[in-house]
Amino acid sequence: MEINLVSDTVTKPSVEMLNAMFNAKVGDDVYKQDPTVNELEETLADLFGMEAALFFPSGTMANQTAIKLHTQPGEQVICDKYSHIYHYEGGGASFNSGVSCCLVDGNRGMITADLVKNGINDPEFYHAPLTSLVSIENTTNKGGGACYDLQPLQEIKQVCIDHNLKYHLDGARLWNALVAKKQHPKQFGELFDTISVCLSKGLGAPVGSVLLGSKEDMHRALRIRKIFGGNMRQSGYLAAAGLFALQNNISRLEIDHRRAKELGSLLEKMLWVANVEPVETNILIFGLQPSVDEKLFMEKLKQKGIAISSMGHGKLRIVTHLDYKEVMHEYVMEVFSKLTF
């Protein structure tokens, strides 16, 4: 038995999802003539109460397009020190948009209105980059799947209004946050200028993210997507997987959250574990005791058919997902409970 808990991106389409893809009605999306892509974009725009949406091959491209939309070269983006747009998008903010990141020291990847205020440069002080955008990540990846309450996000929104800043949400795992916090997509659509949502993580589609915003911004995003090389032709086959995922795979995220929490509770009892970060959604981050060699630990898991990931700096990560079945979960729990060092 091989169990991959490296990420929720490792899932494969179910037979039902493949059937939906196989039977999709398609056209040429470059000409905006793919009916299934159009349906996906309209469905998500309506779900979030936003004017328009645009389908992308990846969340990184969707985020990078949002940064390009809201900034000019030489300006600055405020984000948490753990942010995906800073750590895991290949330096794209500087390469694609010519902007720098003002990194603030949040809590598990989550920032506050005061931190944002303190990060804003005086627009009259031309020696410093002009602050133009605030980017939030929800749930936080490197922060261990932590998710925001609405009030802190509303407070940051007011700071953005007061200082004429744009507000972007990297919602790669926003679906997990919505389920965990019992929130509604429209509550986020009311706050942000743009939102990126991923269909290929917790929802289990093989490819795709969607950027949401105003009609004007999505019209501009269409050109940026073209420049970035993100235009696709009969991409309705991929969009069909996203539609199936939206209709069938959101409520079941609670199962992934439960399993991650059960793993976290077990690891807290293990003598070879130094710390376990709070588990809110499907990401579990923990550290080993200094006496335990990380390579040896990973090798022991590999021998048992279990793969997890190292995030560096002593952080190990487990991500639960829809291909991680209950029988696998019971096996992993048993393996962890019997490990000794």
* pLDDT value for 1: 75
* pLDDT value for 143: 95
The answer to whether the CB of 25 falls within 8 A of the CB of 36 is yes
The answer to whether the CB of 16 falls within 8 A of the CB of 244 is yes
In Å, how far from its chain's centre is CA 279? Answer: 16
Strands (E), the chain: 3-4, 52-56, 76-80, 100-104, 131-137, 166-171, 194-198, 209-213, 273-276, 283-288, 306-307, 309-312, 315-319
Determine if residue 283 is left, alpha or beta; phi over 0 gives left, psi from -120 to 50 gives alpha, anything else beta: beta
Distance CA 90, CA 60 (A): 9
The answer to whether the CB of 112 falls within 8 A of the CB of 106 is yes
273: CB partners within 8 A, 6+ apart:
267, 286, 287, 288, 289
Q: What is the CA radius of gyration of the chain?
A: 20
- Per-residue pLDDT tens listing for the chain (341 residues): 799 999 999 999 999 999 999 999 999 999 999 999 999 999 999 999 999 999 999 999 999 999 999 999 999 999 999 999 999 999 999 999 999 999 999 999 999 999 999 999 999 999 999 999 999 999 999 999 999 999 999 999 999 999 999 999 999 999 999 999 999 999 999 999 999 999 999 999 999 999 999 999 999 999 999 999 999 999 999 999 999 999 999 999 999 999 999 999 999 999 999 999 999 999 999 999 999 999 999 999 999 999 999 998 889 999 999 999 999 999 999 999 999 98
Residue 199 CB-density burial (10 A; 0-12 exposed, 13-18 middle, 19+ buried): buried
The answer to whether the CB of 275 falls within 8 A of the CB of 143 is no
* pLDDT value for 313: 84
* pLDDT value for 247: 97
134 beta partners: 78, 167
In Å, how far from its chain's centre is CA 178? Answer: 12
* pLDDT value for 133: 98
Angle between helices 326-338 and 253-268 (to 10 degrees): 10
Residue by residue, DSSP assigns 249-294 as SSTTHHHHHHHHHHHHHHHHT-TTEEEE---SSSEEEEEE-TTS-H
Question: Which residue, among 84, 32, 67, 70, has the nearest Cα to 53 in the 3D structure?
Answer: 32
User: Domains (ranges, CATH) in the chain?
Assistant: 3-8+252-338 (3.90.1150.10), 15-248 (3.40.640.10)
